[in-house]
């Protein structure tokens, strides 16, 4: 190797001219998602993937077998003309077959377009038209919805059914067949995985549309790989090969928070709950499979706690619960931690962030349901004012939350215009504070603010106080039209079963906690709070029903 000597050091060493320094280099190792299942199959081949079926049945496979089966699905898709960049849609629950389909689609360079079965058929058909998918993979028990969807989605040519039986048939222009019988006759020889740029699109997920029309978010192999590494950090999920992880959060909701990638990457056992997410089904699955980490939105854990209360059942294997997707009611957090004797780890994120933004640190000296935690390496936060200018002070002040990072959206699907500002910051639409320790606290949604008499009221602050009452299961505050003030806040509550509390007590809890003119004039009790497709309270429905006065 020739070395170039320059300057005084070269002269002092007596070096002659004409020598050149040649730096070393590192391997070009594209961060494609097929490497995750390849890694799991090679280094954790016998680790189980368990799926809850009907009647308490449990389907089992291993990471080694999952790799083989995923490659066979890739071969089938390739034989049908699917190539890099094509979109393949899935309408399915959390199951082994769905995970295998994910790796099959993404591994060959196609794009996995996940569809939310909690949406209407017309909405799903619209999303399919946007993506241009020709092939749909669907859970058997969702076929009724799928057929309604196909009426408005003539672009679908093939439908493969997983997790159940179906007879091959035609429906309109689509051919319908069960996937499982086809795999046994397929040889995965010649299947090419991962031979493309790491910035190749891998997934497509539309936002829930809770504050407007749904928007498509395109994930890349690199963004999801980087998100996986961030999720595995010790102060984030901290998943290890000794864990048994159950993602209750659906795979159609922001990649199940990245867990179908992170769990096999760590070599942990993956437990998939299928379609039964009631408290009893989840409790039995946790106990039977020795689940150590369970992940889902807060409303899921209400059902679990109610089942444990009713049966006296215990879950000794469970070490912690990870929550996100919606604010964590303080009373529910206290209930879980007191009843199960395990910590609840809060988080914040959104579809546009792949989705994890911040995670609560379990070792923090004080923990609060309102605290969403700190960002891990790979994502950054910034508070701005309404005009888009950075706030001069970033601690203990409220501002509009902006983010940027390796797994943060740059541009929505089908749009040419960037979703970020000139410096790459994405406006989340959330109002937030960051404390001196760097912990994020979401204080509301900018679009949820109520303007009463020319002044702003933040519903989230009212909801947090009311939700802390032990009698309250869920609470929501919306603006209601008012002749004098323009808008006034309306409080809607869902009480816990067999609990009672007067309107005076509900509103009295707010005195001294919020400004007196923030206190709602009226309380409405609902038997069941309407929830959107991702489990959040659906304020669009509430406004449609109650905001007109």
> Looking at the DSSP assignment, which residues form a beta bridge with residue 400?
384, 431
Looking at the predicted structure, is the pLDDT value of residue 157 above 80? yes
Please give the C-alpha separations between residue 126 and each of 120, 150, 170, 216, 408, in angstroms, as whole numbers: 10, 11, 22, 12, 25
Residue 3: its pLDDT value, please? 47
Rg (CA), the chain: 25
More reliable by pLDDT, 10 or 422: 422
295-323 confidence digits (pLDDT tens): 998 888 989 999 999 999 999 999 999 99
Residue 386: its pLDDT value, please? 86
SS3 49: strand
What mean pLDDT comes out for the span 457-461?
87
pTM: 0.85
What mean pLDDT comes out for the span 241-257?
95
Q: Which two tokens stand for residue 21?
A: 């320094």
Q: Which two tokens stand for residue 514?
A: 């919020």
363-414 confidence digits (pLDDT tens): 777 778 889 999 999 999 999 998 999 999 999 999 999 999 999 999 999 9
CA separation for the pair 448, 463 (Å, rounded) = 12
Q: Which two tokens stand for residue 258?
A: 């990245």
CA separation for the pair 500, 496 (Å, rounded) = 8
What mean pLDDT comes out for the span 116-128?
91
What mean pLDDT comes out for the span 279-299?
96
Residue 8: its pLDDT value, please? 53
CB contact set of 42 (below 8 Å; sequence gap of 6+): none
CA separation for the pair 102, 400 (Å, rounded) = 35
What mean pLDDT comes out for the span 224-242?
97
375: left (phi over 0), alpha (psi -120 to 50) or beta: beta
| Least confident piece of the model among 66-70, 98-102, 467-471 | 467-471
CB contact set of 44 (below 8 Å; sequence gap of 6+): 63, 241, 264, 267
| Least confident piece of the model among 9-18, 355-364, 431-440, 527-536 | 9-18
What mean pLDDT comes out for the span 337-349?
94
Which residue spans within 63-166 are E strands per DSSP?
87-91, 111-114, 135-139, 158-162
Please give the C-alpha separations between residue 217 and each of 32, 203, 277, 325, in angstroms, as whole numbers: 18, 8, 26, 17
Percent of the chain with pLDDT over 90: 76
CA separation for the pair 46, 64 (Å, rounded) = 7
Q: Which two tokens stand for residue 210?
A: 């809770």
Residue 1: its pLDDT value, please? 45
What mean pLDDT comes out for the span 9-30?
76
Residue 60: its pLDDT value, please? 98
What is the number of H-type helices and E-type strands within the chain?
15, 27
Q: Which two tokens stand for residue 113?
A: 């377009």
Looking at the predicted structure, is the pLDDT value of residue 340 above 50? yes
Its sign, for the CA torsion 425, 426, 430, 435, is negative
Looking at the predicted structure, is the pLDDT value of residue 211 above 60? no
CB contact set of 547 (below 8 Å; sequence gap of 6+): 478, 479, 480, 481, 490
Residue 458: its pLDDT value, please? 87
SS3 264: helix
Residue holding tokens 């109002």?
431
414 within 8 A of 113, measured Cβ to Cβ: no
Residue 426: its pLDDT value, please? 98
CA separation for the pair 283, 28 (Å, rounded) = 45
CA separation for the pair 194, 200 (Å, rounded) = 10
Residues assigned a catalytic role: 207, 352, 451, 456
505-538 confidence digits (pLDDT tens): 999 999 988 888 899 999 999 999 998 766 778 8
What mean pLDDT comes out for the span 466-491?
89
| Least confident piece of the model among 28-42, 283-297, 364-378, 492-506 | 364-378
Average pLDDT taken over every residue of the chain:
92
Looking at the predicted structure, is the pLDDT value of residue 12 above 80? no
**CB-based burial of residue 242 (10 Å sphere; 0-12 exposed, 13-18 middle, 19+ buried)?**
exposed
Q: Which two tokens stand for residue 431?
A: 């109002």
> Looking at the DSSP assignment, which residues form a beta bridge with residue 353?
none
Beta 174-178 vs 158-162: how paired, if at all?
parallel
Domains of the chain in sequence order: 449-546 (3.30.300.30)
Q: What 8-state DSSP symbol labels residue 113?
A: E
Looking at the predicted structure, is the pLDDT value of residue 2 above 50? no
CA separation for the pair 31, 9 (Å, rounded) = 41
Residue 414: its pLDDT value, please? 95
CA separation for the pair 283, 497 (Å, rounded) = 19
Give the residue from 208, 198, 193, 273 showing the smallest Cα distance to 228: 198
452 pLDDT tier (thresholds 50, 70, 90): confident
CA separation for the pair 233, 256 (Å, rounded) = 17
């Amino acid at each position: 190797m020739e070395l170039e000597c320059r300057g005084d050091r070269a002269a002092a060493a007596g070096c002659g001219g004409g020598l050149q320094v040649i730096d070393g280099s590192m391997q070009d190792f594209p961060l494609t998602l097929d490497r995750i299942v390849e890694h799991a199959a090679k280094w954790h081949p016998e680790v189980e993937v368990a799926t809850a079926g009907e009647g308490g049945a449990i389907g089992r496979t291993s990471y080694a077998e999952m790799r083989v089966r995923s490659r066979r699905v890739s071969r089938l898709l390739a034989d049908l003309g699917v190539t890099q960049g094509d979109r393949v849609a899935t309408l399915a629950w959390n199951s082994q077959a769905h995970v295998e389909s994910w790796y099959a689609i993404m591994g060959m360079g196609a794009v996995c377009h996940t569809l939310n079965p909690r949406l209407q058929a017309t909405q799903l058909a619209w999303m399919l038209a946007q993506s241009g998918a020709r092939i749909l993979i669907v859970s058997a028990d969702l076929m009724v919805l799928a057929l309604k969807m196909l009426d408005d989605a003539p672009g679908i040519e093939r439908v493969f059914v997983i997790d159940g039986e179906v007879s091959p048939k035609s429906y309109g222009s689509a051919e319908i067949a069960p996937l499982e019988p086809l795999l046994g006759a397929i040889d995965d020889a010649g299947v090419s995985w991962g031979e493309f740029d790491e910035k190749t699109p891998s997934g497509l997920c539309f936002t829930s549309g809770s504050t407007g029309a749904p928007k498509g978010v395109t994930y890349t192999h690199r963004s999801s790989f980087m998100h996986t590494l961030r999720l595995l950090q010790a102060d984030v999920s901290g998943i290890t090969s000794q864990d048994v992880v159950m993602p209750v959060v659906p795979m159609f909701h922001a990649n199940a928070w990245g867990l179908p990638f992170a769990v096999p990457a760590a070599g942990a056992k993956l437990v998939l709950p299928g379609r039964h997410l009631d408290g009893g089904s989840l409790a039995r699955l946790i106990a039977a499979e020795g689940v150590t980490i369970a992940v889902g939105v807060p409303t899921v854990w209400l059902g679990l706690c109610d089942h444990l209360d009713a049966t006296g059942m215990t879950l000794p294997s469970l070490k912690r619960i990870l929550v996100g997707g919606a604010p964590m009611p303080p009373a529910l957090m206290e209930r879980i931690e007191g009843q199960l004797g395990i910590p609840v780890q809060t988080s914040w994120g959104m579809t546009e962030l792949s989705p994890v933004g911040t995670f609560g640190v379990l070792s923090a000296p004080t923990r609060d349901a309102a605290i969403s935690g700190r960002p891990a390496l790979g994502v950054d936060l910034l508070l701005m004012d309404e005009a888009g200018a950075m706030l001069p002070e970033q601690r203990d002040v409220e501002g509009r939350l902006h983010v940027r990072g390796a797994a943060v959206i740059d541009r929505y699907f089908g749009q040419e215009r960037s979703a970020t500002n000139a410096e790459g910051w994405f406006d989340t639409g959330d109002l937030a504070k960051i404390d001196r320790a760097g912990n994020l606290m979401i204080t509301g949604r900018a679009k949820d603010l109520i303007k009463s008499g020319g002044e702003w009221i933040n519903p989230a602050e009212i909801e947090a106080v009311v939700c802390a009452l032990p009698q309250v299961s869920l609470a929501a505050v919306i603006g209601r039209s008012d002749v004098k003030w323009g808008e006034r806040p309306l409080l809607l509550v869902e009480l816990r079963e067999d609990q009672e509390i007067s309107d005076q007590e509900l509103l009295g809890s707010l005195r001294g906690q919020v400004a007196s003119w923030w206190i709602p004039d009226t309380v409405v009790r609902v038997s069941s709070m309407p929830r959107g497709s991702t489990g959040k309270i659906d304020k669009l429905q509430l406004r449609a029903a109650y905001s007109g006065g």
